[in-house]
Amino acid sequence: MTDQPLHPDECQTMRDVRAGVDATDAALIKLLEIRFGYMRAAARIKDDRNVVRDEARKAQVIAQAVTLGEAAGIPAAHIRSVWEELVEQSIAYELGVWDATRQG
Per-10-residue mean pLDDT of the chain, 104 residues long, equals 86 98 98 98 97 98 98 98 98 98 82
Output the pLDDT for position 103: 82
Binding site residue list: 18, 35, 46, 94
Domain ranges of the chain: 8-101
Contacts of 44 (CB under 8 A, 6+ apart): 97, 101
CATH H-level superfamily of 8-101:
Chorismate mutase (1.20.59.10)
pLDDT at position 1 is 52
Question: Which residues belong to the annotated binding site for substrate?
Answer: 18, 35, 46, 94
Q: What is the pLDDT of residue 37?
A: 98
Q: DSSP letter string over 61-86?
A: HHHHHHHHHHHTT--HHHHHHHHHHH
